[in-house]
Amino acid sequence: MVQTDSQTNIELGSQIESKCNQMTKRLLTLAFVIFNCGVPSLFAQTQSATDSAYDSYNKMLASPPQTPREVFYQLLDKEHKLHDKATTLKKQGDIMGAWEAFSEMVQLDPAPLDARVFCHYSFDAGKYRDVVWCGQRIMDAINADKVNAWMMDAPVQMEWGISLAVLGDYRKADSVLVDGIEKLHTANSDFGYEKEWLDYYREWHYTLNYINNDFSSTLILAEKDNTIATDGHQTANLYNLLARDISHLVGLAQGQGMNYPLLSHWSALHRLVREDMVVDYAFDKSESQRSKNEGIVTGIAWHAIDVYNGLPLKPLPPADVAREYQDAMNVIATKPYGSWYDAIQKLIDVTRRVPWWAEVHYNLASILKTDKVTISNYYCIEYTGANIDNKIVAQELIFYLALEPNGEKAGEAKKILRSLNQQIPGE
């Protein structure tokens, strides 16, 4: 049978259409592979891998497309299930499981309302970086007028501030808590104005003010607020409050293996307890009490030194402490003995604040072993001239050797210790 031009054109058109369909499918398969595997992976695809991608694409085409509404409700259903799971696990006491479920939910939709609840879950689970993220997320949303101010209530802001403190960001933490105190003073019912919250905020404000500044300014704050018992022992009462809160920071950081913040917390506690010995001696000057307190101080110093020695990247001393040290050493290097008293007190203060700084331990010991200087408040009592307790010199050198066992001055430190009939660490 002879084909007409019309039939020939129809068959030719059908063949062209078939080829075009095949080419279109191959191009779509190519795009599918690139989208899922990336261009570099495309050139490494075997024929079987390409066929697998082609099959996956065909299955995708066979499935009816979901409308945005359907996707939304599926997402919402998953969020509700995760929320219920987190709530159930929390009631069962599985704090970490609850946090993981709620964390998955927040990743689906990080809304400020979810961030508020997630803050509580994260704080209970010891996820302090997540608490900080939640606090900042909520505050940003409030500042942008996207949510009401009640989203940042007293519990959330307190958890945010304490989490910053656990992470070692003391100044930011204090700023957050001071903002909370100002809100509590306005008696804002959305934030919460119970006296218990105000006292709690103030106590942590005192602790952070001490870490950031000093004890005298903290005592002025506490006496102004009238929040410590006026029983004649205000100073001792404040020391106890600060020791409790700083010890709490030590425990929280230690529990999560946060060693860099932990070093800062141990250092703050060491400084406080060294200063607190003055208070203890005001009531009990006995030798037994002195030995007990010196043992506590030394134990805290060893904790800080152990943490420091275990850090892979050694931190530098705080800038203000480094300046204090340099000022003291400049005086000792350029002034006569009679001008050294204040400089030596500065060196002692540096060892209180940074018990893991080897150089200061050695230099202080070298100065104290002379018989021409007077010091006070190394612990509490005053030592003058030849009456300086060699035990203090030995302790400073032992700390130095623990930090720099192969340091430049290690040989000289051991020589001095032998002359004092002291045991050398490691020998």
| pLDDT mean over 389-416 | 90
The number of angstroms, rounded, from the C-alpha of 421 to the middle of its chain's C-alpha atoms is: 42
| pLDDT mean over 155-163 | 95
In the chain, % of residues over pLDDT 90 = 40
Closest CA to 343 of 381, 378, 375: 375
pLDDT at 192: 54
Residue type (1 letter), 101: A
pLDDT at 189: 54
Judge whether residue 239 has pLDDT over 80: yes
Sign of CA dihedral 360, 366, 372, 375: positive
Q: Which long-range contacts (CB under 8 A, 24 or more apart) does 27-36 make?
A: 28/57, 29/53, 29/54, 29/57, 32/56, 32/57, 32/60
With cut-offs at 50, 70 and 90, classify the pLDDT of residue 21: low
| Residue carrying structure tokens 């204040």 | 342
Judge whether residue 113 has pLDDT over 80: no
More confident residue, 368 or 382: 368
| Residue carrying structure tokens 């045991």 | 423
pLDDT at 23: 52
156 close to 164: Cβ distance less than 8 angstroms: no
| pLDDT mean over 395-399 | 92
User: Bridge-partner residues for 374, per DSSP?
Assistant: 384
The H-or-E segment that residue 376 falls in is strand 374-376
Sign of CA dihedral 361, 363, 365, 367: negative
| pLDDT mean over 178-192 | 73
How open is the CA angle 349-351-353, to the nearest 5 degrees? 70
What tokens does 100 get?
């993981």
- Rounded CA separation 170/318 (Å): 13
Terminal alpha carbon distance of the chain:
111
pLDDT at 206: 96
What tokens does 358 get?
């080897």
With cut-offs at 50, 70 and 90, classify the pLDDT of residue 342: confident
Judge whether residue 43 has pLDDT over 50: no
The H-or-E segment that residue 382 falls in is strand 382-384
**What are the DSSP calls for 401-420, one per residue?**
HHH-TTSTTHHHHHHHHHHT
386 close to 363: Cβ distance less than 8 angstroms: no
Judge whether residue 281 has pLDDT over 50: no
Judge whether residue 4 has pLDDT over 60: no
pLDDT at 170: 97
pLDDT at 150: 80
User: Bridge-partner residues for 383, per DSSP?
Assistant: 375
Phi, psi of 373 (to 5 degrees): -125, 160
CATH number of 323-427: 1.25.40
Q: How many CB atoms lie within 10 A of CB 362?
A: 24
What tokens does 146 get?
């996207």
101 close to 82: Cβ distance less than 8 angstroms: yes
User: Bridge-partner residues for 376, per DSSP?
Assistant: 382
Range scoring the smallest mean pLDDT among 203-207, 295-299, 303-307: 295-299
How open is the CA angle 259-140-210, to the nearest 5 degrees? 45
Judge whether residue 280 has pLDDT over 80: no
Residue range(s) in the chain whose domain bears CATH number 1.25.40: 153-315, 323-427
pLDDT at 32: 45
Fold entry, domain 153-315? 1.25.40
- At 52-97, the pLDDT tens digits run 555 655 555 555 556 666 655 566 677 778 778 878 888 888 888 8
Q: Can you count the helices (H) and strands (E) in the chain?
A: 19, 2
Range scoring the smallest mean pLDDT among 38-42, 143-147, 289-293, 423-427: 38-42
Query: Per residue in 285-300, is it b (16+ CB within 10 Å) or e — as a string?
Result: eeeeebeebbebbeeb
HSE-CB of 237 using CA atoms within 13 angstroms: 13
- Rounded CA separation 265/255 (Å): 13
**What are the DSSP calls for 125-140, one per residue?**
TT-HHHHHHHHHHHHH
| Cβ within 8 Å of residue 268, ≥6 positions away | 210, 211, 246, 249
- Rounded CA separation 215/206 (Å): 9
| Mean residue pLDDT across the chain | 79
Range scoring the smallest mean pLDDT among 209-218, 282-291, 342-351: 282-291
More confident residue, 38 or 132: 132
Judge whether residue 257 has pLDDT over 60: yes
Range scoring the smallest mean pLDDT among 166-175, 200-209, 217-226, 240-249: 217-226
The H-or-E segment that residue 375 falls in is strand 374-376
With cut-offs at 50, 70 and 90, classify the pLDDT of residue 263: very high
pTM for the whole structure: 0.77
Q: Where are the alpha helices (DSSP H) in 38-67?
A: 39-42, 47-62
User: Bridge-partner residues for 375, per DSSP?
Assistant: 383
